[in-house]
């Protein structure tokens, strides 16, 4: 049967352009800002929708990569990625531990079952692991009081390779939140300075120099979005890597009092020229929005009016001359950026990237 009935990807009007040079720029910048510590590029969730294999191949000098699952890591190995790959979610079943050994993956361990499986494994072939410690995130990680026992058990595993330490900062995006200092204090209280640590995430790199301990991790900032809650004050030269673009399907002239869209949620306050754009929540663009949401058409900002539909967005183009069907529309990129769209839809840039990146087709710029 010819064609593909899947409504996502190349069958849609919208697409995402991924600038790999922007990602390389961001990696170099963040490595410098981390004090030239070793920098882990976090490419879980298909590199936040940017394409894990493509992003990894664009960073041949990256110190390491991190993903959430063993399966994600295996896919990278099979695509030719040879650098260290850290599995942040660790392993659940013994077969996943075996896969870590076979593919030379670094699992993160955070519960007793991990230790039991390591102890019972016949030959780990120098497997390297990261011990995750819960210093305040409240998700995965050994309790502080359990850490000495964890280290003692690991010391008895003769075929184990290097052991490193890791924790995750819960509120590093807020430079005024005291939790980060408390978390760093808890790290120091363990007196494990002989181990290599990974503490800083993207926000830690930008806002907390004391968290720069041998290995830093960058996720959101790698893709050009500022992770700080006070990003208007914390200015950093990150370059947005993803641009979402679509096309105008039609331009309609509506009269004062006419309504637009389902439930007639928008009523024209004057005679207006409205562009119907071929994108919607089926393409990952958020359905919920505030009244300030905008798109870029012909280099000018245009207000989104009415609700976001599955396949269509309507925008006020009354101020534009010669606008017509087929013209390109930037939904986000350098301006408005993903953080702005996230603010308008009362979510976070992580969700914007992931949703769009898994729904629309992607094209890659500056591969070399």
Does residue 161 contact residue 126 with C-beta atoms inside 8 Å? yes
DSSP state of 282: G
- Looking at domain 242-365, its CATH superfamily turns out to be Lyase, Ornithine Decarboxylase; Chain A, domain 1 (2.40.37.10)
DSSP state of 61: T
The predicted structure's pLDDT at residue 7: 63
Q: Which residue has the tokens 């664009």?
A: 58
User: Is the peptide bond preceding residue 336 cis, with omega within 30 degrees of 0?
Assistant: yes
The predicted structure's pLDDT at residue 290: 87
Helix axes 70-78, 94-102, angle to 10 degrees: 30
Instruction: Inform me whether the pLDDT recorded for 35 exceeds 80.
Output: yes
Q: Is 31 tagged catalytic?
A: no
The predicted structure's pLDDT at residue 1: 39
Tens digit of each residue's pLDDT (9 = 90 or more) over 249-270: 999 999 999 999 999 999 999 9
What would the mean pLDDT of 179-184 be, rounded to a whole number?
A: 98
224: left (phi over 0), alpha (psi -120 to 50) or beta: left
State the catalytic residue, choosing from 32, 78, 256, 262. 262
* End-to-end CA, the chain: 36
User: Strand pairing partners for 133?
Assistant: 142
Which CATH number applies to 34-223? Answer: 3.20.20.10
Total count of residues recorded for the chain:
368
| Portions of the chain given CATH number 2.40.37.10 | 242-365
CA distances for 156 relative to 45, 81, 147, 198, 212, angstroms: 35, 31, 15, 23, 30
| Portions of the chain given CATH number 3.20.20.10 | 34-223
What would the mean pLDDT of 89-112 be, rounded to a whole number?
A: 97
Q: Which residues contact 332 (CB under 8 A, 6 or more apart)?
A: 242, 243, 244, 338, 340, 341, 352
State the catalytic residue, choosing from 44, 132, 266, 285. 44
**Secondary structure class of 253 (helix, strand, coil):** strand
The model's pTM: 0.95
For the chain, state the CA radius of gyration. 24
Instruction: Inform me whether the pLDDT recorded for 6 exceeds 90.
Output: no
Does residue 70 contact residue 91 with C-beta atoms inside 8 Å? yes
Q: Is 44 tagged catalytic?
A: yes
Instruction: Inform me whether the pLDDT recorded for 21 exceeds 70.
Output: yes
pLDDT band with cut points at 50, 70 and 90 for residue 295: very high
CA distances for 331 relative to 97, 105, 218, 321, angstroms: 42, 38, 25, 20
User: Strand pairing partners for 276?
Assistant: 250, 314
Tens digit of each residue's pLDDT (9 = 90 or more) over 322-358: 999 999 999 999 999 999 999 999 999 999 999 999 9
Q: Which residues contact 193 (CB under 8 A, 6 or more apart)?
A: none
Instruction: Inform me whether the pLDDT recorded for 2 exceeds 70.
Output: no
What would the mean pLDDT of 241-256 be, rounded to a whole number?
A: 98
The predicted structure's pLDDT at residue 291: 86
């Amino acid at each position: 049967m010819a064609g593909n009935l899947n409504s996502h990807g190349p069958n849609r009007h919208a697409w995402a352009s991924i600038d790999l040079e922007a990602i390389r720029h961001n990696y170099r910048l963040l490595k410098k800002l981390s004090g030239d510590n070793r920098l882990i590029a976090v490419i879980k969730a298909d590199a936040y929708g940017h394409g894990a294999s493509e992003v990894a191949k664009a960073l041949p000098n990256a110190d390491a990569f991190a993903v959430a699952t063993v399966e994600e890591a295996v896919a990278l190995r099979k695509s030719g990625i040879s650098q260290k790959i850290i599995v942040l979610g660790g392993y659940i079943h013994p077969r996943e531990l075996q896969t870590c050994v076979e593919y030379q993956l670094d699992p993160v361990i955070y519960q007793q079952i991990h230790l039991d499986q390591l102890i019972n494994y016949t030959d780990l072939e120098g497997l390297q692991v990261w011990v995750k410690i819960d210093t305040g995130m409240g998700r995965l990680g050994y309790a502080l009081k359990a850490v000495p026992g964890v280290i003692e058990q690991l010391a008895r595993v003769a075929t184990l390779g290097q052991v490193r330490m890791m924790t995750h900062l819960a509120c590093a995006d807020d430079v005024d939140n005291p939790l980060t200092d408390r978390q760093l204090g808890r790290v120091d209280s363990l007196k494990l300075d002989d181990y290599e640590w990974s503490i800083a995430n993207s926000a830690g790199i930008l806002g907390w120099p004391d968290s720069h301990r041998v290995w830093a991790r960058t996720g959101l900032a790698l893709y050009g979005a500022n992770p700080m809650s006070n990003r208007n004050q914390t200015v950093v030269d990150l370059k947005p890597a993803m641009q979402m673009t679509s096309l105008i399907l039609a331009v309609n002239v509506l009269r004062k009092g006419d309504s637009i869209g389902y439930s007639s949620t928008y009523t024209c306050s004057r005679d207006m020229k409205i562009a119907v754009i071929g994108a919607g929540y089926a393409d990952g663009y958020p359905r919920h929005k505030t009244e300030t949401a905008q798109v870029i058409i012909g280099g000018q900002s245009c207000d989104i009016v009415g609700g976001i539909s599955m396949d269509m967005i309507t925008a006020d183009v009354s101020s534009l001359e010669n606008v017509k069907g087929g013209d390109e529309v930037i939904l986000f990129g350098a301006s408005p950026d993903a953080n702005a769209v996230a603010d308008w839809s009362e979510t976070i840039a992580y969700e914007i990237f992931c949703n769009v990146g898994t729904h629309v087709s992607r094209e890659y710029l500056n591969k070399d």
